[in-house]
């Protein structure tokens, strides 16, 4: 079994475990009972660990992404959110998918900073 997610509280695992079981992916919650009996142990142990078989990792991660439980790294960065908010004000860019908006807006911002540094 391989750990693919960590949770600080056992109640957070219910929906995720149910989703994987609906997809036909067997999973196991390591340290679930320990964190219920000894809640102070949660942070020391890394919380409840969601584990799946090695051969099910790809399928499990894809199911969790589709369910909204795993986000791409660029979607969770505060800077990326700030850049995306900036991109919403650019007429052509605002219609693009989020990842492309962030990349294009970041390039525009970097170019504007470079121009400002050159001429100031």
Tell the burial category of 107 from Cβ atoms under 10 Å away from its Cβ (0-12, 13-18, 19+).
exposed
Residue 75 has pLDDT above 70, yes or no: no
Tell me the pLDDT tens digit for each residue of 95-111: 888 888 888 888 888 89
- The CA–CA distances, whole Å, from 112 to 87, 89, 119 equal 14, 15, 11
Helix H or strand E segment including 12 = none
Distance between CA atoms of residues 6 and 49, nearest Å: 5
Distance between CA atoms of residues 9 and 43, nearest Å: 10
* Token pair for 38: 């000894």
80 and 57 in a single domain? The answer is no
Q: Which domain holds residue 90?
A: 73-119
81 and 62 in a single domain? The answer is no
14 and 62 in a single domain? The answer is yes
42 and 84 in a single domain? The answer is no
Per the structure, the count of domains in the chain is 2
69: pLDDT confidence band, cut at 50, 70 and 90?
confident
83 and 107 in a single domain? The answer is yes
Tell me the pLDDT tens digit for each residue of 11-53: 888 899 999 999 999 999 988 877 778 777 666 667 888 999 9
9 and 59 in a single domain? The answer is yes
62 and 9 in a single domain? The answer is yes
60 and 89 in a single domain? The answer is no
């Amino acid at each position: 079994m391989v750990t693919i997610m960590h949770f600080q509280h056992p109640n957070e695992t219910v929906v995720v475990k149910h989703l994987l079981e609906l997809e036909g992916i067997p999973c196991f919650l390591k340290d679930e009972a320990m964190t219920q009996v000894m809640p102070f142990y949660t942070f020391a142990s890394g919380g409840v660990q969601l584990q799946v078989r090695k051969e099910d990792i790809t399928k499990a991660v894809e199911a969790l992404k589709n369910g909204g439980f795993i986000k791409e790294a660029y979607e969770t960065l505060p800077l990326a959110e700030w850049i995306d908010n900036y991109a919403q004000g650019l007429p052509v860019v605002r219609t693009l998918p989020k990842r492309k908006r962030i990349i294009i807006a970041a390039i525009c911002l970097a170019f504007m900073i470079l121009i400002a540094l050159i001429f100031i």
